[in-house]
Amino acid sequence: MGKLECLYDTLDVLCPMHVILNATGHVVHAGPTLRKLRPDATMTGARFLELFELNRPRRVSSMDQLLETQGVKLHLRFRDEPQTTLKGVLVPSPEDGGAIINLSFGISILDGVRDYALTSADFAATDLTIEMLYLVEAKSAAMEASRKLNQRLQGAMIAAEEQAFTDTLTGLKNRRAVDHILPRMIENDKEFAVMQMDLDFFKAVNDTMGHAAGDHVLQQVAKILVEETRDDDVVARVGGDEFVLVFSNVKRRAILSDIASRMISEIEKPMVFNGENCCISSSIGIAMSGETTPLTVAQLLADADTALYASKHKGRACHTFFDPGMVDEIACAMSENGAKGRAASG
């Protein structure tokens, strides 16, 4: 092996992004990594200043001027696409008037690795670039692990929140969910409606057929309520046989009346459990946010409950919209019932 070949092999290992120039400024040898940046081009024999454009120092157009940059950091880039920017330092070759220029990516190393699919094998073993690549790889792995962990934590939080707001028997929302949702709907200042529903004769099912039958009835009622409402409506079980439904962006009573009538009709159909019919009905009270004063969660639920009581008083299996006059009527009815009870006991 000749002296030049030994030099080339040595430089290929120590600085794989170098070029060796002759006295006329033409490339006589290029390191393997530099050749990898332009796999379809032949660097050997090309004039260095035709391959690269010097940004600093400027106005370098000849080999003599290039040699004057000895020891100065060179800022250059490829003239053809992609115009990757590089850093370099020149060392003159006293024997033939040529030079050796060692190049590197500098702070654009990550772009270089990405654009040219470089690996640690493309750099000298002692090059700090290797350490940077390891750090970047470790950081990427850590960020990916952190992202997956955050996704799992977020999923767990969502699941926990969903569980906290869900009635385990029916899969509907629970009272906690209603107490969380209604204040937000009031803040949004959009009209909505609240239905309060109570099942008629449900206690009789529990007492005569057992709690398993009662649970079956509640699950069937939940299914009916979900089928008769929209995805963005809220359907919640807030007590043993008590339900609250919240309808967003509904202003017309006729729409709510149709929904209530359909639900009552479906719930009145016998529900079979272990070969026996479970017969119940339902009563509904409806309060409109635009008609509630003051508009608070407590007042909305109180108005819906008052309307529900009116439905029960009318004979059950019906729905009633809240009207302020109901308050006095219900108070009188309760007073009369109390008087009758006292008279009967006396």
- Catalytically active residues, by annotation: 241
- Name the amino acid, one letter, at 298: A
What whole-number distance in Å separates Cα of residue 14 and Cα of residue 102? 10
What whole-number distance in Å separates Cα of residue 150 and Cα of residue 185? 30
Nearest to 243 by CA among 221, 258, 274: 221
- Name the amino acid, one letter, at 213: A
For 125, list phi and psi in degrees, rounded to 5. Answer: -60, -30
Q: Do 75 and 69 contact (CB within 8 A), yes or no?
A: no
Query: Tokens standing for 54?
Result: 């010097």
What whole-number distance in Å separates Cα of residue 292 and Cα of residue 110? 63
* Omega of the bond leading into 57 within 30 degrees of 0 (cis): yes
* Omega of the bond leading into 82 within 30 degrees of 0 (cis): yes
